[in-house]
Amino acid sequence: MADCAGLLLAAGAGRRMGRPKALVELDGEPLVRRALRVLADGGCDPVRVVVGARASEVRALLPSPELAVDSPDWSSGMGASLRAGLRALPEASAVLVHLVDLPGVDARIVARLLSSASTEVVARAAYDGVPGHPVLLGRRWWSEVADGASGDRGARDWLRGRDDLRLIECADLGGGDDVDTPADLRP
């Protein structure tokens, strides 16, 4: 397995949630800490967290301030956060891009994806055959992905229709459903 960085996108305002999802607690743990722990426990090293909305509050929840990457244009969408994060990452063969609002993703899913890490990889988790997150990108593609990332679509357009995209089934380990509203947090 190649060395793989973890990139957590946690810059959004969470309008439907009523506050940034990074600050939302689930079982007494803020989603940003939960997702950061999942990336590290799954084998990502180093890990970076892209912050934007209420950045100082999110940064205060991180174990170390140098984990934070500021996304000055965070309000223009996930694409800006992805660009900022990819450009700030240290050397690694690959990066696993994770979203802060996916509490069903655990370290086993991260580890399964990382088993495919290489400089050339393009892979993503799938849940019952449906493509989801996290997404694994070999270093070869970082510049191309960053250049094409825009709005709230992130790398979606870049990933669509790629012949080399590998779907890695993960439904047996967890779920890829996001939480958008307070109702989504209820069991």
Report residue 135's pLDDT band, with 50, 70 and 90 as the boundaries: very high
Note the pLDDT of residue 185: 84
Furthest-apart CA atoms within the chain: distance in Å: 42
Residues in the chain: 187
Any idea which fold 4-174 has?
A: Spore Coat Polysaccharide Biosynthesis Protein SpsA; Chain A (3.90.550)
Report residue 173's pLDDT band, with 50, 70 and 90 as the boundaries: very high
CB–CB of 30/22 below 8 Å? yes
Mean pLDDT of the chain: 94
Over residues 69-93, mean pLDDT: 93
Report residue 127's pLDDT band, with 50, 70 and 90 as the boundaries: very high
Tokens (6 digits) for 18: 């009523």
Tokens (6 digits) for 24: 């939302």
> Pairing between strand 122-127 and 166-169?
parallel
> 6-10, 143-147, 151-155: which has the highest mean pLDDT?
6-10
Structural domain boundaries in the chain? 4-174
Kind plus residue range of the DSSP H or E element containing 157:
helix 156-159
Kind plus residue range of the DSSP H or E element containing 166:
strand 166-169
Report residue 29's pLDDT band, with 50, 70 and 90 as the boundaries: very high
Over residues 99-113, mean pLDDT: 97
Report residue 148's pLDDT band, with 50, 70 and 90 as the boundaries: confident
Whether residue 1 has pLDDT greater than 60 = no
Other CB atoms within 10 Å distance of the CB of residue 88? 14
Amino acid at 141: W
Note the pLDDT of residue 2: 66
Q: Of 101, 94, 102, which Cα lies nearest the Cα of 43?
A: 94
% of the chain surpassing 70 pLDDT: 98
Over residues 143-172, mean pLDDT: 90
